[in-house]
Amino acid sequence: MRRKTTLTGSAALMLFLFCGYSWAQESHVGNLSGNEKRGRALYERYCIFCHGQYGDGRGESAPYLDPKPRDFTKAVFKCRSTPSGSLPLDSDLYDTISRGVHDSGMPSWKPLLRQERVDLIAYIKTFSSAFQEEKPGAPVEIPPEPPSSAESIQRGAQVFEKMNCWSCHGKDGRGHGPSASTLTDSKGYPITPFDFTSGSRFKCGETDRDMFRDLITGLDGTPMPSFASAMTTDQKWDVVHYLRSLSIHGTHKQLAPISQ
């Protein structure tokens, strides 16, 4: 079941002004615990220009960014290890802050100390009551990866076609499928499908396990759905191997072409 809508905009502002930070939060990553007061100082120094004073993604730089900055008041996050519709783990948010989001205005914040990144998470969580009211989902299970092979890549190309992935990502995986120009995110902003030929990094990571996980979780807030029940485990790994072949070779012309 998906979460109920949390306070946003003027309602959230009024709560901040008159009730203070009633959604006090902590964060825990490994043996580190985050503190929201320290996190607030870091947020105001590094994050406020894009994500805004109230965490709603409306900072001064936001109009110039594509895709738009994350709206933390919605508690909807693309990159998670938890099922679609559930809150992320603190470690998921930590990984995103550390890694950045490829092909967006969100850089890697690895120059910050690990403790500072954990403190930032504690403050980011104060923008939505969801973190007070709910628990994150259990991490999805990722089974061992079988070896990649020409046969697996070819099967993955067939699943890519059967699941209509090409309608958004294009028959060559470059993100210009026939539906691409019509796609919007959950806030109505245009969103471009990922170009799998652009390199080894993907939206939420760079390993095969990261890609397998994204097929299970989907990218919440975007048109990218969860394929948890739509594909078998073997099919998911075949698709991962196919997409990896696009990032390595820049094209799949060396494979049997997807039917036109």
Rounded distance between C-alpha atoms, residue 55 and residue 91, angstroms: 20
pTM of the model: 0.85
Rounded distance between C-alpha atoms, residue 105 and residue 27, angstroms: 24
Rounded distance between C-alpha atoms, residue 214 and residue 226, angstroms: 8
Rounded distance between C-alpha atoms, residue 163 and residue 187, angstroms: 25
Neighbours of 75 (CB within 10 A): 22
Domains along the chain with CATH numbers: 22-133 (1.10.760), 150-249 (1.10.760.10)
pLDDT of 20 reads 44
* pLDDT < 50 stretches in the chain: 1-2, 4-5, 13-22, 250-260
CA distances from 192 to 15, 103, 177, 224 (A): 35, 10, 10, 11
pLDDT of 15 reads 45
Which amino acid makes up residue 29? V
